[in-house]
């Protein structure tokens, strides 16, 4: 196990009706910026309820609506400007990961003198942020309990993750009932997203028994409950299980001490940057292809352990067990969850940008589970087509 720091200060209120804790936001001051996406939170009644609670707590509300599924830097800039102009002292995101990501960088940019994009491409510039609060409405990214945000500049085909301890939310409200109305497509993509986070952390050479066994536990929860939520969207226990599993997939619990390098996310961010596709769908398409591409004698025992511990595969030969595990993963994502199985299914029909995408999705300096060259990435993208 590598050395690590584990620090998850976010106060989580989990369960039915936990929005009642929203007035605690008043501890951060009397002005908040409410960040949200489209009209779904209005249709679901969360918007009205939140406004009433905030009013009762004496908090004045400013609004940043219209956050995009791949949140844009222009929206972040608008939010930061409003915070500075109105001397707002907290940011409240109501929505999914995109909304929370946007709110995080708004909160940081509000305390930064330069342009918000600086903070996206250089996380070291993030020295402080307004306190961030969230009410989660989609189980997927785990942004409600981590320090990371992903922001795009689609004009430049750029999509990057940035992170800082001060961007960890102060408080997040996780009410599974809010996810009852999440459509099938988003439920499936969210499940793929949280599974991918777990995979990215899990497939590491490092010995870290605790993290690996916990990751396997989370994967089992996702594999069991994803299909239930698809078939029976108002199943509370399934929605609750997905919601709590998605937070733990990325809050450090299964990653700290393992030094993961997140190769699939690096490639997917390029797909989204060039084609603005749904993040979870891109991850699902890439995952089995990546697994097959890197399968060899060194990686086989890791995929075999995954198959045995998560899928209950009994095959004793590592390579065979690994192949079965990958097949199970493929079948789960595309047959059971109904996710698009290749890039053509999400509208990407040619290789035009693959070279430049592979160039940009360059590996980090850390010791990877399987270091990918530019050629590897191009090949993975071609296989995914």
Site residues (vs a second copy, CB under 8 A): 1-18, 176, 207-210, 213-214, 216-218, 220-221, 224-225, 236-237, 240-241, 244-245, 248, 253, 256-257
Alpha-carbon distance 217 to 133, whole Å?
Answer: 28
The residue (of 232 and 359) whose beta carbon lies closer to a second copy is 232
Q: What's the closest the beta carbon of residue 254 comes to a second copy, in angstroms?
A: 10
The residue (of 203 and 334) whose beta carbon lies closer to a second copy is 203
Cα–Cα distances in angstroms (integers) from residue 374 to residues 205, 266, 271, 355, in the given order: 21, 12, 15, 8
The residue (of 20 and 127) whose beta carbon lies closer to a second copy is 20
The residue (of 79 and 226) whose beta carbon lies closer to a second copy is 226
Q: What's the closest the beta carbon of residue 107 comes to a second copy, in angstroms?
A: 19
Alpha-carbon distance 294 to 300, whole Å?
Answer: 9
Alpha-carbon distance 191 to 233, whole Å?
Answer: 13
**Which residue in 97, 100, 89 sits closest to 131, CA to CA?**
89
The residue (of 110 and 250) whose beta carbon lies closer to a second copy is 250
The residue (of 42 and 213) whose beta carbon lies closer to a second copy is 213
The residue (of 199 and 334) whose beta carbon lies closer to a second copy is 199
Q: What's the closest the beta carbon of residue 348 comes to a second copy, in angstroms?
A: 34
Q: What's the closest the beta carbon of residue 21 comes to a second copy, in angstroms?
A: 8
**Which residue in 5, 66, 7, 4 sits closest to 34, CA to CA?**
66
Q: What's the closest the beta carbon of residue 379 comes to a second copy, in angstroms?
A: 34
Q: What's the closest the beta carbon of residue 222 comes to a second copy, in angstroms?
A: 10
Alpha-carbon distance 376 to 357, whole Å?
Answer: 12
Q: What's the closest the beta carbon of residue 129 comes to a second copy, in angstroms?
A: 17
CA trace torsion 186, 264, 11, 106 (10° rounding):
-80
Strand-pairing partners, residue 91, are 33, 132
Alpha-carbon distance 93 to 132, whole Å?
Answer: 8
The residue (of 72 and 197) whose beta carbon lies closer to a second copy is 197
* Cα dihedral sign, 274-279-285-286: positive
Length of the chain: 385
The residue (of 231 and 296) whose beta carbon lies closer to a second copy is 231
H-run or E-run covering 178: none
Alpha-carbon distance 214 to 198, whole Å?
Answer: 10
| Radius of gyration of the CA atoms of the chain, in A | 20
Q: What's the closest the beta carbon of residue 255 comes to a second copy, in angstroms?
A: 13
Q: What is the DSSP string of 242-305?
A: HHHHHHHTTSSTTTTTT----HHHHHHHHHHHHH---HHHHHHHHHHHHHHHH-STTTHHHHHH
Q: What's the closest the beta carbon of residue 13 comes to a second copy, in angstroms?
A: 6
Q: Is 159 helix (H, G, I), strand (E, B) or coil?
A: strand
How distant is the alpha carbon of residue 21 from its chain centre? Answer: 24
H-run or E-run covering 50: helix 46-56
């Amino acid at each position: 196990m590598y050395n690590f720091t584990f620090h998850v200060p976010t106060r989580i209120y989990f369960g039915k009706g936990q929005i009642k804790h929203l007035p605690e936001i008043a501890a951060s001051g009397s002005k908040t910026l409410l960040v949200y996406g489209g009209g779904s939170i209005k249709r679901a009644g969360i918007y009205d309820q939140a406004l009433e609670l905030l009013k009762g707590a004496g908090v004045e509300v400013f609004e940043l609506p219209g956050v995009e599924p791949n949140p844009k830097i222009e929206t972040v800039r608008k939010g930061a400007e409003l915070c500075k102009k109105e001397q707002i002292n907290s940011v409240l995101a109501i929505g999914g990961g995109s909304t929370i990501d946007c709110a995080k960088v708004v909160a940081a940019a509000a305390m930064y003198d330069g342009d918000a994009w600086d903070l996206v491409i250089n996380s070291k510039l993030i020295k402080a942020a307004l306190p961030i609060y969230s009410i989660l409405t989609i189980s997927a990214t785990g942004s409600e309990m981590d320090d990371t945000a992903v922001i795009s500049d689609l004009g430049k085909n750029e999509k990057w993750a940035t992170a800082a301890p001060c961007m960890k939310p102060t408080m997040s409200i996780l009410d599974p009932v809010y996810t009852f109305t999440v459509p099938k497509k988003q439920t499936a993509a969210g499940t793929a997203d949280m599974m991918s986070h777990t995979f990215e952390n899990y497939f590491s050479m490092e010995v870290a028994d605790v993290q690996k066994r916990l990751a396997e536990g989370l994967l089992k929860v996702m594999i069991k409950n994803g299909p239930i939520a698809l078939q029976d969207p108002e199943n509370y226990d399934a929605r609750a299980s997905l919601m709590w599993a998605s937070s733990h997939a990325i809050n450090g619990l299964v990653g700290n001490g393992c030094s993961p390098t997140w190769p699939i996310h690096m490639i997917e961010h390029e797909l989204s940057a060039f084609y603005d596709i749904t993040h979870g769908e891109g991850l699902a398409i890439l995952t089995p292809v990546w697994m097959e591409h890197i399968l060899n004698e060194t990686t086989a025992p890791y995929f075999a352990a995954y198959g045995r511990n998560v899928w209950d595969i009994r095959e004793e030969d590592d390579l065979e067990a690994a192949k079965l595990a990958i097949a199970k993963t493929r079948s789960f994502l595309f047959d059971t969850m109904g996710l698009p199985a290749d890039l053509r299914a999400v509208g990407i029909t040619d290789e035009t940008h693959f070279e430049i995408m592979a160039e940009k999705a360059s590996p980090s300096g850390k010791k990877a589970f399987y270091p990918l060259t530019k050629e590897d990435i191009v090949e993975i993208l071609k296989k995914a087509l």
